[in-house]
Structure 1
Amino acid sequence: MNEITVHAVFDIGKTNKKLFLFDDQGEIVWKTSTSFPTTEDEDGFISDDLSAIENWMKETMAHLMDPETGTAAWKIKSVNFSGYGASLVYLDENGDRLPLFINYLKPFPKNLEDRFFENYGPKIQFCQETASPWLGMLNSGLQIFWLKHDKPDWFAKVKYVLHFPQYLSYIFSGEPITEYTSIGCHTGMWDYQKEDYHRWIDGEGLRRLFPALRPSDTWTKSSFQGQPIQVGAGLHDTSASLIPYLTSEKEPFILLSTGTWTLAINPFSDEKLSGEDLQNDCLNNLRINGQQVRTARLFLGREHEIQVTRLSEHYHIEVGDILNLKWDPDTHLKAKETEEFAFDFEHLILNTKEISTKKENNPKEWAVAYYQLMGLLVPLQIEAIKRAAGSQYIPRLIIEGGFVHNEIFIELLHQGLPDWEVGVSTVKGGSARGVFELVKQ
């Protein structure tokens, strides 16, 4: 039996960690998925368990490549990675990982924010130069600033700083690198006007911590389990998700990538971000060729998860039953005519005012309450989509990710964007598919 050459792609998301095997034609021949409980950092703040993630990646690859336990029909030729952004990994002088993995939701101290802008402000100028709103730890470069000034003993041990996708690559290659899509992911490090590190990086003496900037299609010859393997550079997941559509679509489009975050992505804009854009969580990312991508973010997936859990508890109904609701015009009409459920949103902010619809009475039917929830969320999503479009006329929306299975979400988008062509992606593999495309390139 002839061996089939396959290419491994790890897709490490905030919630789910996946591994895909693609054949040379791009067919998914095998996949697996897992998740891990969070741990805590030394301050008691929740953090992803990077040791568990790393061990799972190594053990899974070892199992697949071991002649005794793997599948003899497959020969893994390459491995590459898609990972979430706004997260950094720190290596010491021996190349070992320091036990520091900062959650991007961790609060950024106000005294350090003031100190930062005393030296590198004003804030609006910084945000326009780095093409990102001020997001605290979500501007991952500020995690290093925090480490330097709040945890100097730890900072003194740092030899290299790697963006998370490039650390995933480092696990298998041993080669520390920096890459465009990660450095351009609202890090606060990259000056989009100069196309170089922002001046604060040199002001703090941090440039020395970043390995050489390499193209996104960089491959490193390595070995694993005694077998040769090509190791890719790793990509920021949002940028990776764009690649299949840029390859296959002939007309301009906006991609709505749905997950914990929903991201309305416009790769056809060269507009500079206005102050209003920045205030409404619109930012730029970088494509693999270094060109900007206009993106409007919304923490909609996380908010949806929280509110669905609350509905489940209030109505004593399984979460799965709520998520499996189908579109029903009668329920939609009843939801509009019934007093709204007392939602209290935790994350979504519109024009700096928290959305809250606190009422004394709740609907008797849980399905009606869920339709009301979507009636609040979808208009926010539509606003983000239009902000991603900017001044361009691109009435074409492609939806991918977890919400493609939510009929209510899709139908309300259709109704809210009546002049748009709204379609659901048929691309299998999401960000992992985009990473695989680099094999063909």
Structure 2
Amino acid sequence: MKTIAVVDVGKTNAKVVLVDGEDFREVAARTMPNGVVNAAPYPHFDTEKLWAFLLESFAALGRERPVDAISVTTHGATVALVGEDGDLVLPVLDYEHDGPQAMAEDYRAIRPRFEDSGTPVLPVGLNAGLQVYWQSKAFPDAFAKTRWLLMYAQYWSFRLTGIAASEVTSLGCHADLWEPRNGRFSSLVESQGWTRLMPAVRRAGDVLGPILPEIAVATGLRPDVPVHCGIHDSNASLLPYVLTRTGPYAVVSTGTWVVVMAIGARPVVLDEARDTLINVNALGDPVPSARFMGGRAFSLLGGKSGDLPPAAIAEVFRRGAMLLPSLPEESGPFPGRKATWTVAREDLGEDAAQAVIAFHLALMTATCLDLIGAEGPVIVEGPFAANRAFLMMLKVATGRAVLSGGSATGTSVGAACLAACRAPEPALASAEDNLPEGAADYAARWRRLACEG
């Protein structure tokens, strides 16, 4: 029986999950918060704390069940600058730090066109290319020591194997570093002299090598455990569907970010001002996408999953209680807009407020689906797949079938597919359609008000 240890580093939490390679069940997991160190030279991820957590988790989980392979998935918009000795030459920048924006005007003059890179101009450090450009100018002495420019998933694979690699799902994640339609590094990489810093491009499922001997000693894992190259987390959620499904459909990957990806979309002109972009899937194909920080909004608003009383939903429709975009205001299809409640939250019961939050997130998601020309059923992965009010309103707003994935951590199962060399037929449940009368009118009014604002 093959057991795959998945390193799953999200923006909010990091996990090591054991996945059964036969039936793709998650059989064990360890989790820690993924905090940011607010210290010089800029806010950064605590990579050494994460590394210690990974080693401890491998040791503990390996005692429960022998590990046969390791696969890595991480959030995007993150780059590690590694020196000849394998150590970081600069800390791994937190992409929510606004320092890179100090050079945004200069960067705009050298960045690739949206039509070529599929990368919109994004705030703070969300364009990985801008991060690297800023680091090269703000810290030239340290940057000069860089040997490898590694995307985040491949950084952890490098730590495990000592082998550097590039990979397209991470390079193609609003980074300005890749041309999705041409399958090559962007003009930015060439013009800035970064080509020499880019390791050879490997497929996400490629085995880079076995774990380093010292890791085997530290964890008790077999020294021949293979480590796969790794994948961007939203593409990990998408992968089982890419491998098993035909026809047009969309996948909504939910976490800190809600990332909407359309397969077989109708042709549309993407609007880079509304956080649309082109991702690249694990097979190297371009995927029209859109996103907003839905999980962050859910957390900031104190959102809760669970069944809501029909009376609370009826109250929301009767009073026209809505949360209009956007939260956080700097991302998503309504950038720069401040969130507003049409009925003060304190004037609503808690259940009604929770319904408003769920409906807001569903309607933001429906907007993203429209922007990228999505067609066919909508598949929801991750935490929002357990939120019935969200699923029901998404079904009403799109007028299409909405299916929920069975896992709260779809990224981990998707990453395990890389090591299993196959994918399970995802178990999907159809969303119910029992919202009371007025749901369609509510969705139409929300869209009208959102667009007018």
Q: What's the TM-score bracket when you normalise by the shorter of the two chains? A: 0.7 to 0.9
Alignment of 1:373-392 (within 5 A): 373-388=357-372, 390=373
The one-letter amino acid of 1:192's match is P
* Whole-angstrom CA distance in 2 between matches of 1:324 and 1:117: 41
Query: Is structure 2 residue 352 aligned with structure 1 residue 368?
Result: yes
Determine if contact 1:20/1:28 at 8 Å carries over to the other structure. Answer: no
Residue deviations 1:44-97 (CA, integer Å, cap 9, x gap) = 7543322111111112213444xxxx14xx432211111111111121121112
Determine if contact 1:9/1:81 at 8 Å carries over to the other structure. Answer: yes
Paired residue for 1:255?
251
The one-letter amino acid of 1:237's match is D
* Whole-angstrom CA distance in 2 between matches of 1:298 and 1:353: 12
Paired residue for 2:319?
338
Paired residue for 1:239?
235
The one-letter amino acid of 2:313's match is H
* Whole-angstrom CA distance in 1 between matches of 2:338 and 2:230: 37
**TM-score, normalising length from structure 1?**
0.85
Change (3 A) 1:98 1:109: closer
Change (3 A) 1:281 1:37: closer
Paired residue for 2:117?
130
* Whole-angstrom CA distance in 2 between matches of 1:29 and 1:373: 29
Alignment of 1:382-421 (within 5 A): 382-388=366-372, 390=373, 394-418=375-399, 420-421=400-401
Which one has the bigger strand percentage? Answer: 1
The one-letter amino acid of 1:415's match is V
* Whole-angstrom CA distance in 2 between matches of 1:94 and 1:282: 38
* Whole-angstrom CA distance in 1 between matches of 2:108 and 2:391: 42
Change (3 A) 1:144 1:425: same
* Whole-angstrom CA distance in 2 between matches of 1:157 and 1:11: 29
Q: Work out the number of aligned pairs and report it.
A: 409
Query: Is structure 2 residue 201 aligned with structure 1 residue 207?
Result: no
How big is the alpha-carbon RMSD for the aligned residues of Structure 1 and Structure 2?
A: 2.6
Determine if contact 1:267/1:292 at 8 Å carries over to the other structure. Answer: no
Alignment of 1:128-277 (within 5 A): 128-136=115-123, 137-223=125-211, 224-225=216-217, 227-269=223-265, 271=267, 274=269, 277=271
Determine if contact 1:90/1:97 at 8 Å carries over to the other structure. Answer: yes
Deviation of residue 279 (structure 1)? 1.5
Change (3 A) 1:414 1:249: same
Determine if contact 2:240/2:417 at 8 Å carries over to the other structure. Answer: yes
Change (3 A) 1:126 1:77: same
* Whole-angstrom CA distance in 1 between matches of 2:358 and 2:190: 46
Determine if contact 1:41/1:47 at 8 Å carries over to the other structure. Answer: yes
Paired residue for 2:89?
98
Paired residue for 1:312?
none
* Whole-angstrom CA distance in 1 between matches of 2:259 and 2:333: 16
* Whole-angstrom CA distance in 1 between matches of 2:395 and 2:197: 47
Paired residue for 1:280?
274
The one-letter amino acid of 1:282's match is T
Identity level (%): 23
Paired residue for 2:419?
439
Residue deviations 1:119-168 (CA, integer Å, cap 9, x gap) = x26xxx62221102111421112111000111212212222111110011
Query: Is structure 2 residue 73 aligned with structure 1 residue 82?
Result: yes
Paired residue for 1:422?
402
* Whole-angstrom CA distance in 1 between matches of 2:35 and 2:176: 26
The one-letter amino acid of 2:187's match is R
Change (3 A) 1:371 1:62: closer
Change (3 A) 1:364 1:282: closer
* Whole-angstrom CA distance in 2 between matches of 1:171 and 1:143: 21
Paired residue for 1:26?
23
Deviation of residue 409 (structure 1)? 0.9
**TM-score, normalising length from structure 2?**
0.83
- Unmatched tracts of structure 1, length 5 or more: 309-321
* Whole-angstrom CA distance in 2 between matches of 1:363 and 1:193: 50
Paired residue for 2:430?
none
Residue deviations 1:327-357 (CA, integer Å, cap 9, x gap) = 3332112123337489895414654451432
